A and B are shown apart, each in its own frame.
Chain A
Amino acid sequence: MKRNIRDQLIWLAIAVGGWLVIDLLTLVGIISPFILTIITMIEINVILAVSLNLILGVSGQFSLGHAGFMAIGAYASAIVAEKSNSIWGFALGILIGMAISGIIALIEGIPTLRLRGDYLAIATLGVSEIIRITINNLEITNGPKGIFNIPAQADWSIVYIFAAVITMVIVNLVHSKTGRAILSVRDNEIAAASLGINTTKFKVIAFVVGAVAASVAGSLYATYLQSITPSNFSFMQSISTLIIVVLGGVGSITGSILAAVVLGFVDIILQNYGALRMVLYSLMLIAFMLFRPSGFLGTWEFSISRLFSAKNKSQKESK
């Protein structure tokens, strides 16, 4: 327990250190407002990728519907922020988004998580598209026109804090007793069930936590970019989060963060190529998958405790 607290504190220090570095570089003027926007989008992508990785990599459920939950969070925050532009409005928007996403994920998860592999993927894609089409047809969400002039409530450092906290919560969940149950369901559902693990329960826990985190990412997206339309949350958004997770390595939280950062900077570089941008991006994606099919890090995970103890290291690797 003591070691665990020490590791948490080290992580916290790393997170605060990262914040200080970005803050300092902004003050000095090395980070321009343009790059700061990219950094904020990277932070949002970190939340999305880490939470999708919990569903896909840790619990082994192939979800293609992350954008739907993101949309719920974004619209909840946008609507609340328009009524009340204060810290309370900001918090309320995020909470409402989390609650709705959690409930929908629960209703969606219990029946659909019985489906396997690609069938689950296509069902979650369906739910996500139904959410988007519903938003497209509702009055309160301003239909296909979307919502503009949303009060700016999130800035890069608020998003950074959320990204760090959500990552720590998810990593701790993975290492908890619940997390080990989720991992066992991924590795062998039948074996886990025969040990008395309620497989549906743990799949649903991972799914709901992932969905709620995606909703927070959506809330931050809306209150940072200040304008949203339903087309921001089409299935292409789910796909781009999926790409981050697979590029980083399915199952590696460290990989998801690394891939979000790398893709963010690749995006900056590709901005110079105009119309060729997406062609180069897709070629890179194909080439990367062909030469490194398991992603940047595979299932490798950066771990503080491993840095401190060699014995621990050999244990974890043999796992």
Chain B
Amino acid sequence: MQVFIQQIFNGIFLGSIYALLALGYTMVYGIIGLINFAHGDVYMIGAFIGFYLITSLHLNFWVTLILTMAACALIGMLIEFLAYRPLRHHGAPKITALITAIGVSFLLENGMTFLFGGDSRPFPQAIKLVTYHIGFLDVTNIQILIFVVAVALMIALQFIVQKTKMGRAMRAVSVDTEAASIVGIKVDQTISFTFAIGSALAGAAGVLIGLYYNSIDPLMGMTPGIKAFIAAVVGGIGVIPGAALGGWLIGLIETLTYSIGISSWKDAAVYAVLILVLLVRPTGIFGKKEGEKV
């Protein structure tokens, strides 16, 4: 029982990372209908930027976090500008955009492997690890930090999307791109902004996971990337609270399979839940039902 509750706590911390990543997927998918396969690799780049900022420039954790988020925002905008925008302007089929995203993902993974080698490297301990014992529970300050930062970023995101002018533009473009452009919304700028925010969150997730696992490598983005996308789908893609819920759910499933001793099946459990959710609610837990147009 104690292990079980401990794993639930661990699942919530791990899930926060998935949730941060899932938010980027869900926003990009919501606005241009693209599974941005390169998103997990932006998270990897974020971890590497954080690594170099701390080890080379000896910056403190908070400065590193903010600089990494800014750098990843720029990278996200650059990827959108160079790879996805030309396709969108030519009205290329969706699957072409997907293959381009896969190409970008390969490029980031292999480019980083080529430049920095494929080995994993230890992430510096920017914050000294302290373990608190609350009753029988072990909670580290880093876990709390991850949770607090993730929730703060989610609240900030919710604020941006619901209250600001840019957020309103994002919602308008995601409902109907053409109508949005008719009423004077700058569609390209809005999409670029969406990529910036999503990538900044991925960068934050990268730094946080570096701190949590103390190890980063160029291929670290692949699996969490897919799982975060699954989290977004489970929660209902395009819905921000859905992505958060999905992220935590995936984190919980993973740690719970660990606690009942079937950890080699943990990914299978995640996929099984995904399929079950899709069969019952084809557009995810919070997803809107789409009507068929004749």
Assembled-state Cα–Cα distance A136/B278 (Å): 25
Residue of A nearest to B232 (CB): A122
B107 touches A283 (CB 8 A): yes
Establish whether residues B282 and A285, one from each chain, have CB atoms under 8 Å apart when the complex forms.
no
A62 at the interface (CB under 8 A from B): yes
Is B93 an interface position by the 8 A CB rule? yes
Interface size class on chain A is 35 or more
Whether B282 lies near A127 (C-beta < 8 A) is: no
Known A-B contacts A114-B282, A115-B278, A126-B274; the reply to A285 vs B114 at CB < 8 A is no
Cβ-based interface call for B148 (8 A): no
> Contacts A126-B274, A294-B93: A243 and B99 contacting too (C-beta < 8 A)?
yes
Q: Which of B124-132, B198-206, B264-272 contacts A (4 or more CB under 8 A)?
A: B264-272
A123 lies within 8 A of B283 (CB): no
Q: Which of A111, A126, A137, A285 has the most CB of B within 10 A?
A: A126
Cβ B272 vs Cβ A294 within 8 A = no
Name the interface size band of chain B. Answer: 35 or more
Partner among B87, B275, B282 whose Cβ is within 8 Å of the Cβ of A290: B87
Are A282 and B106 CB-contacts (below 8 A) given A118-B35, A133-B265? Answer: yes
A213 CB to nearest chain B CB (Å): 20
Taking CB atoms, residues of chain B closer than 8 Å to A121 are: 35
Contact between chains at B271 and A250 (CB < 8 Å)? no
Residues of A close to B290: CB separation below 8 A: 116
- Fill in one digit per residue for B104-122: 1 if any A CB lies within 8 Å of its CB, else 0: 1011011101100000000
A116 to B233, CA, bound (A): 13
Which residues of B sit under 8 angstroms from A127, Cβ to Cβ?
A: 271, 275
Whether A119 lies near B278 (C-beta < 8 A) is yes
The answer to whether B106 and A278 touch across the interface, beta carbons within 8 angstroms, is yes
Is the CB–CB distance between B267 and A129 below 8 Å? Answer: yes
Known: A129-B268, A279-B111. A112 touches B275 (CB 8 A): yes
B229 in the interface, Cβ–Cβ < 8 Å? yes
Q: Is the CB of A293 within 8 A of B110?
A: no
Q: Which residues of A contact B229 (CB under 8 A)?
A: 122
Q: Given the complex, which residues of A lie within 8 Å of B274, measured CB to CB?
A: 122-123, 126
Identify which of residues 90-104 in chain A touch chain B, using a CB-to-CB cut-off of 8 Å.
none
Instruction: For the complex formed, measure the closest distance between the CB of A89 and the CB atoms of chain B, giving whole angstroms.
Output: 30
Q: Which of B92, B96, B233, B292 has the most CB of A within 10 A?
A: B96
Given contacts A116-B282, A136-B264, A290-B86, contact A126 B106 (CB under 8 A): no
Q: State which of B96, B107, B292 has its C-beta within 8 Å of the C-beta of A289.
A: B96
A127-153 residues with Cβ-Cβ distance < 8 A to B are: 127, 129-130, 133-134, 136-137
Cβ contacts under 8 Å, A282 to chain B? 103-104, 106-107, 110-111
Does B99 lie within 8 Å of A190, measured CB to CB? Answer: no
The B-contacting residues of A in range 188-204, CB under 8 angstroms, are 190
B87: A residues at CB distance < 8 A: 289-290, 293
Contact yes or no, B114 A275, CB < 8 A: yes
A246 close to chain B: CB less than 8 A = yes
Complex CA distance for A111 and B280, rounded to whole angstroms:
10
- Is A279 a contact of B114 with CB atoms below 8 Å? yes
Q: How far is the CB of B267 from chain A (nearest CB, A)?
A: 6
Within 8 Å of chain A (Cβ to Cβ): is B53? Answer: no
Interface string of B238-269 (1 = CB under 8 A from A): 00000000000000000000000000110110
When A122-B274, A290-B86, A294-B96 are in contact, do A281 and B265 touch as well, CB less than 8 Å? no
Contact B272 A289 (CB under 8 A): no
Is B100 engaged at the interface, CB distance under 8 Å to the other chain? yes
Q: Smallest distance from the beta carbon of A303 to chain B beta carbons, Å?
A: 23
The 3 closest A-B pairs by CB, nearest first: A293-B92, A126-B271, A282-B106
Apart from A56-B95, A286-B104, list 19 A-B contacts with CB within 8 A: A115-B278, A116-B290, A118-B29, A119-B282, A122-B35, A122-B233, A126-B230, A126-B275, A130-B271, A243-B102, A275-B114, A278-B110, A279-B110, A279-B111, A283-B103, A285-B103, A286-B83, A289-B96, A289-B97
Chain B residues with CB under 8 Å of chain A are 29, 33, 35, 83, 86-87, 90, 92-97, 99-100, 102-104, 106-107, 109-111, 113-114, 226, 229-230, 233, 264-265, 267-268, 271-272, 274-275, 278-279, 282-283, 290, 292, 294
14 contacts between A and B (CB under 8 A): A112-B275, A118-B33, A118-B35, A119-B282, A119-B283, A126-B271, A133-B271, A250-B93, A275-B113, A282-B110, A285-B102, A286-B100, A289-B96, A289-B100
